[in-house]
């Protein structure tokens, strides 16, 4: 191996996706140059030093269990949670892995509520603190000039839209100019919004209580036609009963699935 490595080699050495490598390069964390063909090459010594630091960070991240993050969200101030959340992708590898940790914390909260181990008030406090801090963190991730615009929305019936907010965090970390539309948007109104929008990607989130595949298939069918017409990439995310193989777009069951999809889209 030479003193300089490709993006693919850097991803293998660091264990993160190419969008994360490119973001770190844009932030000045990775020394690099561009070949005559426009491809990035990264200094191997910098990659190796970062990999060594990541090993220590990932060991520290082992303590960031679902329960620990649940406790942060329950007990810590908003500023403290935001500060910890901003460090999380460096500890876990990228924003997709960070979103998995935060999602697991919400699953832990759900299990506590089901076991009557916490009150409705505590459940709402933890949920809204996550939404506030994740939104604030996403807003701090500035997209590069000319970045593709992305819209994230939770399907009707998703009260809090936690999955959509965490997806926005991932997409802004990947360099998209991503916005959350919210939940409860009827398909007809969303289709109208897509017309002539110039969006590059639409991500729809359905939580695990969306168990009716017929309703979700109908919703996705209406939206996918508009996305196809406008050449908008479509992602169907979350644990809801989406079709495993939609006629148009991609199905993601986890944020790591979303990373794979975004990597595929970036190579088109």
CATH number for the 149-266 domain, one of 2.30.30.40, 3.30.360.10, 3.40.50.280, 3.30.540.10? Answer: 3.40.50.280
Out of 61-70, 174-183, 186-195, 232-241, least confident range = 61-70
Tell me the per-residue pLDDT of 42-53, one tens digit each, with 9 for 90 and over. Answer: 888 888 877 766
**CATH 1.10.3720.10 corresponds to the domain 4-59:** no
Question: Which pLDDT belongs to residue 220?
Answer: 94
Q: What is the mean pLDDT of residues 149-169?
A: 90
Q: What percentage of the chain carries pLDDT values higher than 70?
A: 94
Tell me the per-residue pLDDT of 145-154, one tens digit each, with 9 for 90 and over. Answer: 889 999 999 9
Question: Which pLDDT belongs to residue 62?
Answer: 44
Question: Which pLDDT belongs to residue 10?
Answer: 84
Tell me the per-residue pLDDT of 187-214, one tens digit each, with 9 for 90 and over. Answer: 999 999 999 999 999 999 998 888 889 9
Mean pLDDT of the chain: 87
The residues spanned by each domain of the chain are 4-59, 66-140, 149-266
Whether residue 64 has pLDDT greater than 60: no
Between 101 and 61, residue with greater pLDDT: 101
Q: What is the mean pLDDT of residues 61-90?
A: 84
Q: What is the mean pLDDT of residues 242-252?
A: 93
- Tell me the DSSP string of the chain: --SEEEHHHHHHHHTS-HHHHHHHHHTTSS-EEE-TTS-EEEEHHHHHHHHHHHHHHHHHHTT--HHHHHHHHHHS-HHHHHHHHHHHHHHHSSHHHHHHHHHHHHHHHHHHHHTT-S-HHHHHHHHHHHHHHHHHHHHHSPPPTTPPEEEEEEPTT-SS-HHHHHHHHHHHHTT-EEEEEEE---HHHHHHHHTT---SEEEEE--TT---HHHHHHHHHHHHHHHHHHT-EEEEESSS---SS-SSSEEESSHHHHHHHHHHHHT-
Whether residue 26 has pLDDT greater than 90: no
Q: Is the pTM of this model over 0.85?
A: no
Whether residue 55 has pLDDT greater than 70: no
Whether residue 267 has pLDDT greater than 70: yes
Given this chain, do its domains 4-59 and 149-266 carry the same CATH topology?
Answer: no
């Amino acid at each position: 191996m030479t003193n300089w490595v490709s993006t693919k080699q850097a991803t293998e050495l660091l264990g993160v996706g190419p969008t994360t490598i490119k973001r770190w390069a844009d932030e000045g964390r990775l020394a690099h140059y561009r070949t005559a063909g426009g491809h990035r090459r990264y200094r191997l010594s910098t990659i190796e030093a970062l990999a060594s630091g990541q090993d220590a960070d990932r060991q520290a991240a082992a303590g960031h269990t679902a329960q620990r993050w649940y406790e942060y969200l329950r007990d810590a101030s908003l500023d403290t949670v935001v500060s910890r959340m901003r460090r999380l992708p460096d500890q876990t590898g990228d924003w997709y892995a960070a979103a998995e940790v935060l999602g697991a914390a919400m699953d832990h909260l759900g299990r506590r509520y089901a076991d009557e181990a916490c009150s409705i008030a505590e459940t709402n406090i933890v949920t809204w603190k996550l939404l506030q801090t994740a939104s604030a963190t996403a807003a701090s991730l500035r997209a590069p000039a000319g970045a593709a615009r992305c819209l994230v929305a939770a399907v009707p019936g998703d009260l809090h839209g936690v999955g959509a907010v965490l997806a926005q965090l991932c997409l802004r970390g990947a360099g998209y100019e991503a916005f959350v539309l919210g939940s409860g948007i009827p398909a007809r109104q969303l289709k109208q919004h897509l017309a002539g929008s110039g969006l590059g990607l639409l991500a729809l989130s359905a939580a695990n209580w969306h168990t009716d595949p017929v309703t979700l298939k109908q919703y996705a069918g209406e939206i996918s036609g508009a996305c196809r017409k406008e050449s908008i990439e479509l992602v169907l995310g979350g644990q809801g009963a989406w079709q495993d193989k939609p006629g148009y777009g991609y199905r993601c069951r986890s944020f790591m699935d979303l990373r794979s999809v975004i990597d595929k889209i970036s190579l088109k």
